[in-house]
Structure 1
Amino acid sequence: MRLVSPRKVHADQADIDTPLVRELVAVQFPQWAALPLEPVESGGLVNAIYRLGSDLSVRLPLRPSITDMVQREQAKLAALAPFLPVAIPSVEAIGSPTDAFPGEWSVHRWFTGRHPSHDVLADPRGLATDLAAFVDAFRRIDLPDRPPAYPGERRTRAPMVEIDSSTRKAIGELDGLIDTRAALASWEESLAAPSDGCEVWVHSDLTPSNLLVSAEGRLTAVLDFETCGVGDPACDLFPVWHLLPVNVRDEFRAALDVDDATWLRGRGRVLSQALIVWAYQKDTNPAMGNYARHVIGEVLAAPR
């Protein structure tokens, strides 16, 4: 991964830099104080990430909170790991809020690998197989604690209605940059796709920045489980339009036995996310904007 200085992506973002992180680590975890510390390039909107030595990373929420979010994440990751076919993060330590950083933060185990890119896939078919196996394993999880995915959404039999207004707003804000008529038609087709109300465990954010692959192009780890939980199985179809070439999408779909309505809802969810991200980040985060633009193009190029 290429190392760079962190940048502001939210107006209310905390001031996070290397001296601050070094001080937090030195005071609260002196056993790691002497390890090298460098910021890690990330297009994410939730955490600043620093590499600590060769085996650890430090994650600090861009919008710090005094809630027990990090502790809940630690428990959730430990519970999920035995069920999944590839590595997922483990929280090695939880840092306490301070005057300089008023929120919990965490130290994770570092994973080697690189984020996949749709235009540089060493083994598209192998990656599709690995992703389908991960999604299938996730769907089969049976744990007594069943937190909702996308906790801000209400539990309804029309699970996409909650994001309808924000999606339409983003389409309007991108007028002149995309084919808004085609985007709206695609969105309305997905919005109308029925749901039987069946819910399964979903990661809910299988975007390239949350995946790591080997040099051979196979999936080695999945990151960022903040919004994972029980929800619409369509939530985990994102890789179809983010990464997979057209000639292997049907194989991914067949491996997961995805029906037409779920496929349409998946297409709508990934379109909605891409529209909102591009509208929000087009002037401040070019990397995220480029990915969003690619996804929108893939969705609108698909036959309806």
Structure 2
Amino acid sequence: MTMHDDEIHIDEDVVRRLIAEQFPRWSQEDVRHVVTEGTVNVIYRIGDAHTARFPLRPADPNELSIELRRDAAAMRELAACCPFPTPMPIAEGSPGHDYPLPWSVQTWLPGVVATSSGSAHSNAFARDLAALIGALRNADTEGRCFAGTGRGGKLQDSDQWMEVCFRASGTLLPVDRLRAFWTRFRSLPAAGIDRMTHGDLIPGNLLVSGDRLVGVLDGGGFAPSDPSLDLVAAWHMLGAEARALLRCELACDDLEWWRGAAWAFQQAMGLVWYYRHSNPGMSALGRSTLARILSDPELSATAPLVSRIRWRNG
């Protein structure tokens, strides 16, 4: 089953032919599909050192090529400040052999993809996440600020999407309660000045060895945004005690912490219903994240604290 109605097909034979034609230096390398829960690209490993990433959904080839180059620049910028290994861009491939889009080649990183529960109670993992988020926040924005809409900007910009999610989740989730949470989340004041963020710290973008963080994937979105955005990692991957430790390590104030929960909520709401059949792992991630948010005592007693946050921030 495909994840998207408009998904582009690509298989190992096409990948081999593209590599042989465009990058003959790798033509003798073993090529194999990497099974992931990713929703944007299909990934093939080239030998032991590289991966090829092929976008799954139709796009204008010229615009996508610009985007791939922008992503490559962001990956290099991330690598310069990230305290953990992260892939580096190597080359850009061209359309061919019935695959209609440009594609990219990156370095391969060893490690096991993180899960929503595998390190949920690990203080060491929580500290690693805090070290990652802190290092990214300290990177120079070079005068840039958030560009665009959606995650990382104004919470209210997600109202229309959230309504779609609520309507699609009626038989899957306690929608009335979730609506009440979103009403409070969207009322939070704006965050502080934009800081550099990864932008998508879900389990699938982190590599672990045991309960230690050993790699950070998908760095093409590294850019300035709401400084609370990367706190989604706490709700996607940590239990209550580990979340508290991460919050302490980063010295998060109430507003920052709550906005992080709001962004995790916004992301999770879209995962449960959209990927229910096509990507059960992503759907399950959405459910587990929402369960953490719904069961958090502080967030459940929201009205008084939201009022205090709004008052303090004018």
Structure 1 residues not aligned, in runs of 5+? 1-6
The 1:49–1:84 alpha-carbon spacing in structure 2 relative to 1, beyond 3 Å, is same
Single out whichever of 15-24 and 88-97 deviates more from structure 2.
Answer: 88-97
- Asked whether the equivalents of residues 52 and 58 of structure 1 are also in contact (C-alpha less than 8 Å), the reply is yes
Partner of 1:213: 208
Number of positions where the alignment pairs a residue of Structure 1 with one of Structure 2: 294
* Counterpart residue number, 2:11: 17
- Asked if residue 263 in structure 1 is aligned to residue 257 in structure 2, the reply is yes
Whether 1:300 aligns to 2:294 is yes
- TM (norm. structure 2) is 0.88
Contact 2:120-2:239 at 8 Å conserved across structures: no
The residue number in structure 1 matching 2:155 is 160
Q: Is 2:60 the counterpart of 1:63? A: no
Tell me, in whole angstroms, the C-alpha distance in 2 between the residues paired with 1:161 and 1:143.
24
Q: 1:220 to 1:9 in 2, by over 3 A?
A: same
Alpha-carbon offset, residue 99 of structure 1: 5.6
Task: Spell out, residue by residue over 1:102-146, the C-alpha distance to the aligned partner (whole angstroms, 9 max, x if none).
Answer: 221111111111112233229711111111111111111114373
Q: 1:154 to 1:189 in 2, by over 3 A?
A: closer
Residue 284 of structure 1, aligned match among 262, 278, 281:
278
Distance 1:77 1:194 in 2: 31
How much has 1:261 moved relative to structure 2? 1.5
2:87 counterpart residue number: 89
- Residues 251 and 73 (structure 1 numbering): CA distance in 2 closer, same or farther, change over 3 Å? same
Residue 177 (structure 2) aligns with: 182
Per the TM alignment, residue 19 of structure 1 is displaced from its structure 2 partner at its CA by 0.5
Aligned pair partner of 1:200 in 182, 195, 200? 195
Identity of aligned residues (%): 33
TM-score, length of structure 1 as denominator length: 0.91
Deviation at 1:17, TM superposition (A): 0.6
Flag the 1:143–1:165 CA change in 2: closer, same or farther, 3 A. Answer: closer
Q: Superposition pairs for residues 144-159 of structure 1, below 5 Å?
A: 144=142, 146=144, 148=146, 151-153=148-150, 159=154
Aligned pair partner of 2:40 in 46, 54, 63: 46
Query: In the alignment, which residue of structure 2 is the partner of 1:249?
Result: 243
Secondary structure at 1:233 match in 2 = coil
Unaligned 5+ runs, structure 2:
301-314
Equivalent position to 2:138, from 137, 140, 145: 140
The structure with the largest helix share of the pair is 2
Residues 43 and 145 (structure 1), Cα distance of their counterparts in 2 relative to 1, 3 Å cut: farther
User: Deviation at 1:97?
Assistant: 2.3
How far is 1:79 from its partner? 2.3
How far does the alpha carbon of each residue in 1:8-35 deviate from its partner, in whole angstroms, 9 at most, with x for none? 2111111111011111100000110111
Quick check: 2:191–2:256 contact (8 Å CA) kept in 1? no
Say whether residues 1:126 and 2:124 are aligned partners: yes
AA partner of residue 231 (structure 1)? S
Q: Describe the SS at the equivalent of 2:286.
A: helix
The farther-off stretch of 36-45 and 225-234 is: 225-234
Q: Which of 74, 96, 106 does residue 98 from structure 1 map onto?
A: 96
Secondary structure of 1:213's partner?
A: strand
Closer, same or farther in 2 for the Cα pair 1:257/1:155, shift >3 Å? closer
1:206, CA displacement in angstroms?
0.3
Distance 1:123 1:86 in 2: 21
